[in-house]
Amino acid sequence: MIGIGTLVNAGAIIAGSLLGVLLKGGIPKRINNIIYQMVGVAVIFIGIIGVVNNQGNSMMLVLSLVIGGVIGELLKIEDRMEVLGEKIKRKFIRDDVPGSSTFVEGFVSATLLFCIGAMAIVGSLNDGMMHDPSMLFTKAILDGITSIILAASLGIGVGFSALPILIYQGLLTILASLLSGFFTDELIRNLCFVGNVIIFCIGLNFLFPKKIKTGNLAPALFMPIILGLFIH
């Protein structure tokens, strides 16, 4: 069944987030802070390892980040994600619920972290082109564990990132099943290259107060596809 990997992935995030929220009340603030920082360090190294393992075209990377970043800034994608997070919070979460103050941060951070990266891209493509969800099953385990840690620090907003995961990975899986011949090894490598650099930026945001608007870099993920069409 095409898409089963994404469904399992979303379910793991929800389950992990619920467990993390249950743990949140029993974790002292100083422990919570170190967890948050270590998540940032781990995410940075995940991005670095991903870049090393999926080195693509450097010029493609620069053009994708610059053009995609400009488009994202003009469209104010991260601001719109925060507005969406606020709407979800108002609809489903009361202000007296523990973690409500960090709901939007948890939603945006988790959405970007879980949607962007080599495993999300390649796993969805494998599911769509070869009906092989095994990589997404592995991603589900990793995302489930990560969501426990994130939710213990940022609250229930992390769990609501399962909705963008369903949409993003689901559409990518369907697209791959319809256009399997279009996604060459070079294109996939460039997509992963850009995605892992953005993951590195997400890790920096966990550690340093001067934040990179990584949400605005989301269009950069699609630039290798668009630029590839022009080049060829």
Q: Which of 211, 214, 37 is nearest to 112 (CA)?
A: 214
Return d(Cα 125, Cα 133) in angstroms, integer: 9
Domain of 172, in residue numbers: 4-231
Q: Which two tokens stand for residue 104?
A: 């939007």
What mean pLDDT is reported for the chain? 87
Could you tell me the end-to-end alpha-carbon distance of the chain, in angstroms, rounded to an integer? 33
- Amino acid type, 111: T
- Non-local CB neighbours of 185 within 8 Å, separated by 6+ positions: none
Q: What residues contact residue 198 under an 8 Å CB cut-off, 6+ apart?
A: 47, 112, 116, 214, 217, 218, 220, 221
pTM of model > 0.75: yes
pLDDT band for 162, please (50, 70, 90 cuts): very high
pLDDT of residue 153: 83
And the tokens for 202?
């997400």
CB 6 within 8 A of CB 167: no
- Based on the structure, what is the number of domains in the chain? 1
Across 56-60, 99-103, 177-181, the highest mean pLDDT is recorded for: 56-60
Q: What is the widest separation between alpha-carbon atoms in the chain? A: 56
